[in-house]
Amino acid sequence: MKLHTRAVHAGDRKKPGAAVPVTTPIHTASSYFYDRLEDLDRVFAREAEGYCYARYDNPSNAALEAQVASLEGGHGALACSSGMQAVHLALAAALADRPRSILAANALYGATVGLLMNVLEPAGVAVRFVDVCDLESVERALAEQKTGCLLMETISNPLLRVGALDKLAALAHGANATLVVDNTFATPLLLRPLERGAHLVVHSLTKYLAGHGDVLGGAVVSDAEHFEPLRALARTTGPVLGPFESYLAMRGIKTFALRMERQCSNACRVAAWLAGHPSVARVYFPGDGGHPDAVTVRRLFPEGLYGGIVSFELKGAGRDEVFRFMDALRLIVRATSLGDVHSMMLYPVMSSHREVSPKHRERMGIRDNLVRLSVGIEAVEDILADLEQALGSLQPAGA
């Protein structure tokens, strides 16, 4: 054969031998073929299992999807190119055969609020917000207007409120609304929303699940009822994760439970330590006995697993003092995102809640002296030492 022909054919498309690789390889092929066209025809018709085109499915993604679905106890999962793609796909699937109306928790990830207000509402979806920690308000809102979907996060950001997911699921079922739960902050180690009555679960794989700050990805995990419509929608709109990212996410997820256990125990120690520090005005942590949702937390989360995020307010601080404190951090990384192996701190007023007006922020309880710490897997003594020296920078000189 000529060089041009060999350049296209040599080396590739060898049948695998008897040996099986211990981890799923990165399958980058965009399409697949079979010995007989008949077989491809049956795969296209979905009468036979198999791959035909990477927008539909891909062995690397399928392995990750099986892993995530298994962790959440779902019927199936779809790997998406980002957490936001996953939120968008889940909402589209939730509303497919229901009234185009979303009742959303009033504390949601910033970009999710943006998706609701700037994309879905202009497209004709009615969007209302409710305090999901107030069951009576939710019940009233569901009675007032036909609702296609109830959307919430297991642990809210950044004030870490925890709604009674099982009771909210009962209300959603009663109103024939699809319950979509973003479980990014809690992870399936703390709570599996599908087991509590949710229909669709969303993850930003970027955070705790992948966990190493090296890959962007998302997933929708579905119950049996919603899986086929969800998959049909994904096949058409193509939000799929690339195979390289699938590989990284899957590799990260293998250690997620170990990491999360450590992050949760570190966070318990950090929250207790911060609560006793004279420069700290207030600590927000779901494991605190005085947390407003403490009863729900004890009921839904396993003992000692309250998440790896601790938010806190610096006493008498404004933006300048917060900047001084954060600039003094040496170990804790000053970056957005959360759930990585390394501890990281974010200033919500500057980042996640930047687009929210100061007045609205005040109403949400997000003050100018609030910071959010994602506790990593480091030795907790080193995290505390870094906080201690950085908090020391807040003392006036000579004090």
Ligand X SMILES: *Cc1c(COP(=O)(O)O)cnc(C)c1O
Residues 149-168 touching ligand X, rule: CB under 6 A, are 153, 157
Q: Can you tell me the distance from the alpha carbon of 324 to that of 258, in angstroms, rounded to the nearest whole number?
A: 34
The verdict on whether 320 is a catalytic residue reads no
Tell me the closest approach of the beta carbon of residue 111 to ligand X, in angstroms.
Answer: 6
Q: Which is nearer to ligand X, 111 or 272 (CB)?
A: 111
Q: Can you tell me the distance from the alpha carbon of 281 to that of 304, in angstroms, rounded to the nearest whole number?
A: 24
Count of CB atoms situated within 10 Å of the CB of 185? 27
DSSP letter assigned to residue 14: P
The verdict on whether 161 is a catalytic residue reads no
Which residue among 207, 231, 259, 262 is the active-site one?
Answer: 207
Q: Which of 216, 220, 346, 391 touches ligand X by CB under 6 A?
A: 216
Tell which residue, 203, 197, 179, 177, has the closest CA to residue 109.
Answer: 203
Q: Which of 51, 65, 71, 83 touches ligand X by CB under 6 A?
A: 83
Q: Using CB under 6 A, which of the segments 45-53, 105-113, 161-169, 355-363 binds ligand X?
A: 105-113
Which residues, in sequence order, are bridge partners of residue 283?
A: 312
Q: Which of 206, 222, 296, 343 touches ligand X by CB under 6 A?
A: 206
Binding flag, residue 178, ligand X (CB under 6 A): no
Binding flag, residue 340, ligand X (CB under 6 A): no
Which residue among 32, 34, 55, 382 is the active-site one?
Answer: 55
Q: Which residues contact 169 (CB under 8 A, 6 or more apart)?
A: 179, 193, 196, 197, 198
Q: On the CB side of 71, how many CA atoms lie within 13 Å of its CA?
A: 28
Tell me the closest approach of the beta carbon of residue 182 to ligand X, in angstroms.
Answer: 5
**C-alpha distances out from residue 363 to 107, 216, 359, 366, Å:** 11, 32, 6, 8
Q: Which of 58, 67, 204, 279 touches ligand X by CB under 6 A?
A: 204
Q: Which of 57, 65, 72, 182 touches ligand X by CB under 6 A?
A: 182
> CB–CB of 156/108 below 8 Å?
yes
Q: Which is nearer to ligand X, 160 or 164 (CB)?
A: 160
What would you report as the CA-atom Rg of the chain, rounded to the nearest whole angstrom? Answer: 23
Binding flag, residue 84, ligand X (CB under 6 A): yes
Binding site for ligand X (CB under 6 A): 82-84, 87, 109, 111-112, 153, 157, 182, 184-185, 204, 206-207, 216, 218
Catalytic residues: 55, 109, 182, 207
